[in-house]
Amino acid sequence: MSTPSSEPEVSVRVAIAWHQAEAEMLQQILEAEGIHSFLRRSPGFDVPEYLASGPRDVVVRRADEERARELLLPTGKADLGRRPKPVDPVRLLVILIAVVAATWVLLSVLL
């Protein structure tokens, strides 16, 4: 029996499913290997009216993270922790100005 510690257990997302049924399938894969997990609605989709639709996060204890990712990798649903690159605001401004200028030129030619 483990002794209680003052630090709370840290849980991490190991997979993202498109809907409840898919999330439960991933959860069963983990449970079959003795890894306890829970499901939560992904941020932005925590609306009761969605019922079983909408993406779900599969979450496990940090201690089980590596094994869980390894088990879910063949499913293609494992969250590998990749995050999109941040958008460079200067580059975004240049693109926006180019689009506005191109639109202005096309409208002045056509009208």
User: CATH class for domain 11-85?
Assistant: alpha beta
Q: What is the mean pLDDT of residues 16-28?
A: 92
pLDDT tens per residue, range 83-98: 666 778 899 999 999 9
Rg of the chain on CA atoms, in Å: 22
Residue 40: exposure state from Cβ atoms within 10 A (0-12, 13-18, ≥19): middle
**What's the token pair of residue 46?**
């925590």
Q: What is the C-alpha to C-alpha distance for residues 71 and 66, in angstroms, rounded to an integer?
A: 9
Q: What is the C-alpha to C-alpha distance for residues 105 and 70, in angstroms, rounded to an integer?
A: 53
pLDDT tens per residue, range 9-20: 788 999 989 889
What residue spans define the domains of the chain? 11-85
Whether the pLDDT of residue 5 is over 60: the answer is no
Give me the pLDDT at residue 43, please.
78
